[in-house]
């Protein structure tokens, strides 16, 4: 059984050869304090964030696009592979694992180790923007320059040509920072403390990066958050509006735009010409933020497209590799093997 893994900071997806995406769960592990034993992994563990009794901690093994807890990451990979591929023996499993383009050699080894301990005989690492571009249907092997901006927990911007990444930026600003910006705003403007899950709910319900054409109804929406009053410590609710949330998101959104500009500047002129002509493709959950495409298009003067099913692009790209190891050999790194 060959498997592709999108090891995301927010969500982990598994693609099984011949089957498609077989698992899609939050990248969260709940552990008992003191022991490293995982009590729950994935959707079940995410439910516990911000609600755990003192002795249980909900860990996100990856944050802002990098691995922040190796042990938990390993536990999570093992758990998901077992869940998606039941049965005690997983002979000859090959895995294609997507990693952020900025990972260090130490992080690469940690991911390979975790995959092997989860049952892989051979592991190929592929950089996330490459997988995202393949999953979005971009012609990565051709001589034409393609730009992909993958906004998950963090952000990856890359220009790809002839099966390789020509220039890339890895940014610790993405969905997680969008949430943090909302938390900050609510604390400063309304003196209310809210958790990161609440902030994410606000973002998904009424977040935007630019007024959406024809979105008058959307502009009038509000979202009521419940939190704890900063001074009194008592529970209180506050009604947030679309324009104020957009303003709260301004800084991290500008940071993403700045990274796109830098990547364009660093890229050889022929390739940036291709990008100007064919546009920029957005993938990852952040691509769903209303108006982000329009704002980026207006800031760069380049057409911007949101990929179909942006949350699935990286997993589908790793899946394409799993279905066609030989055809995509050039984009896949050399295999690391279990000893
Ligand atoms: P990762 O690859 O890091 O796991 P994903 O590509 O799965 O990340 O995207 C997850 C991020 O996308 C989260 O920050 C989540 O809040 C955000 N997200 C999901 N849906 C939406 C939406 N409709 N609007 C804005 N952000 C969204
Ligand atoms: Mg991702």
Q: Which residue has the higher pLDDT, 21 or 33?
A: 21
Which CATH superfamily groups domain 141-173+252-310? ATPase, nucleotide binding domain (3.30.420.40)
What average pLDDT is seen over the chain?
91
With residue 150 as reference, give the H or E element that holds it.
strand 146-151
Taking residue 151's Cβ as centre, other Cβ atoms within 10 Å add up to: 27
Residues 107, 110: Cα–Cα separation, whole Å: 5
Pocket test for ligand 1, best of 175, 183, 291 (most atoms within 8 A of CB): 175
pLDDT at residue number 90: 59
Q: Which CATH class is domain 175-250?
A: alpha beta
Place of tokens 């571009």: 133
Handedness of CA 94, 100, 103, 106 (dihedral sign): negative
Which residues crowd ion ligand 2, with CB under 5 Å?
Answer: 8, 152, 314
pLDDT, mean of residues 224-240: 95
CB distance 310 to ligand 1 below 6 Å: no
pTM above 0.85, yes or no: yes
- Of all protein residues, the one whose alpha carbon is nearest to atom 26 of ligand 1 is 286
CB of 255 closer than 6 A to ligand 1? no
Q: In b/e form, how buried is each residue of 240-277, taking b as 16+ CB within 10 angstroms?
A: bebebbbebbeebbeebbebbeebbeebeeebbebbbe
* Ligand 1 and 290: CB distance under 6 A: no
The pLDDT tens digits for 252-284 are 999 999 999 999 999 999 999 999 999 999 999
Q: How far apart are CA 11 and CA 92, in angstroms?
A: 26
C-alpha distance from residue 3 to each of 9, 15, 23 (Å):
19, 6, 11
Q: Whose CA is nearest to atom 17 of ligand 1?
A: 285
Q: For ligand 1, atom 19, name the residue with the nearest CA.
A: 285
**For range 242-250, the mean pLDDT:** 98
Domain boundaries, the chain: 3-131+314-337, 141-173+252-310, 175-250
Residue 338 has pLDDT above 80, yes or no: no
Measured distance CA(104)–CA(110) in Å, rounded: 10
Ligand 1 pocket member 285 (CB < 6 A): yes
At residue 85, the pLDDT reads: 80
Q: Determine contact, residues 318/115, Cβ cutoff 8 Å.
A: no
Question: If you write DSSP's letter for every residue of 249-274 in order, what string do you get?
Answer: THHHHHHHHHHHHHHHHHS-HHHHHH
Helix boundaries (H) for 172-215: 175-190, 196-206
Give the helix, strand, coil percentages of the chain, each rounded to 5. Answer: 40, 30, 35
Query: Is the distance from CB of 170 to CB of 181 less than 8 angstroms?
Result: no
In the chain, the N- to C-terminal Cα span, in Å, equals 19
In ligand 1, the atom with minimum distance to the C-alpha of 10 is 4
Query: 288 in ligand 1 pocket by Cβ < 6 Å?
Result: yes
- pLDDT, tens digit (0-9, with 9 covering 90-100), for 101-160: 878 888 888 889 888 888 889 999 999 999 999 999 999 999 999 999 999 999 999 999
* pLDDT tens-digit series, residues 33-82: 777 788 899 999 988 777 767 778 888 988 766 778 888 888 899 899 98
Q: Are residues 146 and 138 in contact, defined by beta-carbon separation less than 8 angstroms?
A: yes
Would you call 135 helix, strand, or coil by DSSP? helix
Q: How many CB atoms lie within 10 A of CB 187?
A: 14
3-class SS at 248? helix
pLDDT at 102: 76
Residue environment code for 84-100, b if the CB has 16+ CB neighbours within 10 A, otherwise e: bbeeeebeebbbbbbbb
Assess contact for 103 and 66: CB atoms under 8 A.
yes
CB-CB contact of 193 with 102 (8 Å) = no
C-alpha 103/C-alpha 260 separation (Å) is 19
pLDDT at 64: 63
- Rounded distance from Cα 280 to ligand 1 centre (Å): 18
Q: Which atom of ligand 1 is nearest to the CA of 311?
A: 6
The pair of structure tokens assigned to 296 is: 């980026």
Number of H helices, E strands in the chain: 12, 19
Residue nearest (by alpha carbon) to ligand 1 atom 7: 11
3-state secondary structure at position 127? strand
Distance 254 CA to ligand 2 centre (A): 20
Q: Are strands 146-151 and 280-283 parallel, antiparallel or unpaired?
A: parallel
| H or E stretch covering 125 | strand 120-127
The reply to whether domains 3-131+314-337 and 141-173+252-310 share a CATH topology is yes
Probe ligand 1: pick from 286, 288, 310, max atoms within 8 Å of CB?
286
Q: Does domain 3-131+314-337 have CATH number 3.40.50.9100?
A: no
Residue 91 has pLDDT above 70, yes or no: no
């Amino acid at each position: 059984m060959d498997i592709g893994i999108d090891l995301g900071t927010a969500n982990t997806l598994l693609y099984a050869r011949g089957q498609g995406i077989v698992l899609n769960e939050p990248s969260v592990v709940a552990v008992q304090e003191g022991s490293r034993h995982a009590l729950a992994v994935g959707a079940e563990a995410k439910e516990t964030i911000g609600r755990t009794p003192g002795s249980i901690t909900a860990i996100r093994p990856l944050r802002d696009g990098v691995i922040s807890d190796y042990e938990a990451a390993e536990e999570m990979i093992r758990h998901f592979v077992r869940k998606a591929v039941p049965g005690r023996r997983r002979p000859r499993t090959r895995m294609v694992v997507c990693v952020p383009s900025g990972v260090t050699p130490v992080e690469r080894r940690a991911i390979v180790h975790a995959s092997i301990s989860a049952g892989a005989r051979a592991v190929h690492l592929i950089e996330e923007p490459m997988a995202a571009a393949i999953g979005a249907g971009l012609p990565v092997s051709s001589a034409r320059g393609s730009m992909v901006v993958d906004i998950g927990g963090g952000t990856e911007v890359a220009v790809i040509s002839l099966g390789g990444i020509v220039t890339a930026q890895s940014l610790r600003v993405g969905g997680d920072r969008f949430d943090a910006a909302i938390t900050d705003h609510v604390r400063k403007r309304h003196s209310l403390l809210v958790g990161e899950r609440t902030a994410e709910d606000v973002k998904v319900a009424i977040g935007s990066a630019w007024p959406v054409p024809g979105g008058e109804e959307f502009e009038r929406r509000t979202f009521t958050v419940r939190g704890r009053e900063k001074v009194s410590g008592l529970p209180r609710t506050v009604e947030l509006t679309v324009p104020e949330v957009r303003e709260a998101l301004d800084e991290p959104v500008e940071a993403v735009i700045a990274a796109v500009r830098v990547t364009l500047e660093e890229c050889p002129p022929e390739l940036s010409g291709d990008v100007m002509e064919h546009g920029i493709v957005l993938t990852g959950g952040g691509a769903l933020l209303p108006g982000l495409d329009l704002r980026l298009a207006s800031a760069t003067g380049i057409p911007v497209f949101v990929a179909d099913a942006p949350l699935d692009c990286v997993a589908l790209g790793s899946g394409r590799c799993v279905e066609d190891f030989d055809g995509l050999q050039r984009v896949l790194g050399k295999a690391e093997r279990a000893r």
